[in-house]
Chains A and B, each alone.
Chain A
Amino acid sequence: MEGIALALIVCAILAIIARRFALPTIPCYLLAGLVLGRSGLQLVEPSEVSSYLTSLGLLFLLFFMGLEIRPSRIWSNQSAILTSGVIDLLINGVIGFSAAYLLGFSSFDSVIVAAAFFISSTAMAVSSLVENHKLLMREAETVVWLMIFEDIALIVILALLGASSEPITMTLLKIALFLLAIIIIVRVAREEIVAIMKREDDLPVLFTFSVLITVAALSLVLKVPESFMVIALGTALGAVDTGAFERHAKPFRDVFLIIFFVFFGIGIDFFAGGVQLPAIIAISAAAVLSKLASGIVIGRAVHGDAMSGIEVWSNTIGRGEFSIAVATLYGSAIVSSTIAAVVIVTSIVGSFVAGASTRIGDGIWALTNKGERNDKPGNGEERSPPVLEGP
């Protein structure tokens, strides 16, 4: 227990410092974990309590992600999502897999590294857009939809990786039935759920927490991937009242997620897994550059302009919560160390590049382009937002 207290206090102090300098907090928590844990001072050891809280952090992270997913909205934006998403998946998947495989990882480990390479941090991308005042750029929408595609791809990856030793058809059947049960129950009890979530007492919090834990526990009993089922639960409940569930789940998510990040760092024995520093540097550099490659291709494909790609890149370099989630669920010791390094390097590089990208873009633009450049945001033809007449 005192280990958790120490870890949380260190994280709180780091969060204050990080916020003051507008730095991303996730790498700070990870670094705190590395320093406090097996790789560093060995002050904190993972315990049964910490691993339970860690798993809660992961469940709440995925539940929250599910709440944001609206199938109908995604359906009506397919074209915007698909082009950039598929480019992102292919380029980063291939570079991630190749880099890991060349460094001597097994093919399963290489798939995990590729998945971690592919999934940028949604939290970092969103705060980068907001804090660097980039929301009006036409690339902002591309980045937002890219994050949604990555979330959906993550769901598929989790479902595939989570398949147990049973025949895959059996697992898929169980997933389908469980999903159907969730959807039917939420549909039938919709009125009651709305009524519960509207209450002012402690019932909405209790309801949110217990439904989440119940679905996770049932998943374990039925041997289906709990991560996948929790996302599905989020999506089903998000259709009832996204705002209310977000409000009541947020405090849990915030605290448990910090425990999740710091204990991920604590549990890593950085130097025992045979990790070599040059390999770590190489793979982290590959992680920064693979998003540059995918960003430029996306910029050309979606906006007809490679410079747009630089902007997309600058906001999506940082890997974070979902890469760590994949590592926690399926990574071996060496994969976890590698992904920890990738998260730390990419998120720090990302936060600096995102702040500087406007200047980088202007510099390159001034050097290469003398004519009129049509990058006025908001009048792009490539999207057709729903039109409301009047406020």
Chain B
Amino acid sequence: MPLHSINLPGVGTKYELITEWGDTLAVFFLKAGNIQIYALPRGSRAPAVVDLSPVEARRVGSVLTGAIMEADRESVEVAFSALSDLRISIHTYIIPGSMAGKGIEELQIRARTGVTIIAVSRGDKNIVNPSPSFTFSKDDAVVAIGESDQLRQFEREYLGG
């Protein structure tokens, strides 16, 4: 189905999609910076409307593009088609109490699972490329990178998932 885009001067940009079933979905990027999504089922007169902040809209966007997201975990899979279909997953996790107080080196995450921790977010501080001696605290949010199998193994071994 074609996606119409139209600029409404003073309001913002509208993207409208009419699905094969005749339902209408419209996304408005408003000048004020926020986003409104309208969903109008076929034959209905009143659309349901959601107001989103840019951050919320991006989250919805990554769900729609196929990334998994559960509560406080998000992941994105990046495929490099030019590199013989190399697929890398990036996933966020919350450090459980069982890992708190231990260092990256001590836990041997990469050696055992192949997963690399590329960033840690603690409170409002972000640490990119933490050193091997970095020690986790409970409730740190970490960004892990690896193949999806490796990430699953990481979840099994360290998160008890």
Contacts and interface: CB of A to CB of B under 8 A. Distances in A.
Given A377-B24, A378-B24, A144 B10 contact: yes
Interface of A: 68-70, 73, 122, 126, 129-130, 133, 135-136, 140-141, 144, 147-148, 358, 362, 375-379, 385-391
Given A126-B11, A376-B24, A136 B38 contact: yes
B40 A386 contact: no
A124 to B, nearest CB: 12
B15 A136 contact: no
Given A133-B36, A136-B38, A386 B6 contact: yes
B8 interface: yes
B40 A377 contact: yes
Interface of B: 2-11, 14-16, 18, 24, 26, 28, 30, 32, 36, 38, 40, 42-43, 45-47, 49
B8 A141 contact: yes
The main secondary structure of chain B at its interface with chain A is strand
B6 to A, nearest CB: 4
10 contacts: A68-B10, A69-B9, A73-B7, A135-B28, A136-B49, A378-B16, A378-B18, A386-B5, A388-B5, A391-B15
Q: Which of A148, A358, A377 counts the most chain B CB atoms within 10 A?
A: A377
Contact of A136 (B24, B30, B32, B42): B24
Given A389-B3, A391-B3, A148 B9 contact: yes
Contacts of B14: 135
A365 B30 CA distance: 30
B5, B11, B32, B38: residue with the most chain A Cβ atoms closer than 10 Å: B11
A211 to B, nearest CB: 22
Nearest to B7: A73
B40 A376 contact: yes
A148 B36 CA distance: 22
A386 B28 CA distance: 16
A377 B44 CA distance: 10
Nearest to B26: A136
A379 B45 CA distance: 13
A376 B16 CA distance: 13
Contacts of A129: 11
A378 B9 contact: no
Given A376-B43, A377-B40, 13 more contacts: A122-B10, A126-B10, A129-B11, A130-B32, A135-B11, A135-B28, A136-B40, A147-B9, A148-B9, A377-B47, A378-B24, A378-B26, A385-B16
Nearest to A122: B10
B4 A73 contact: no
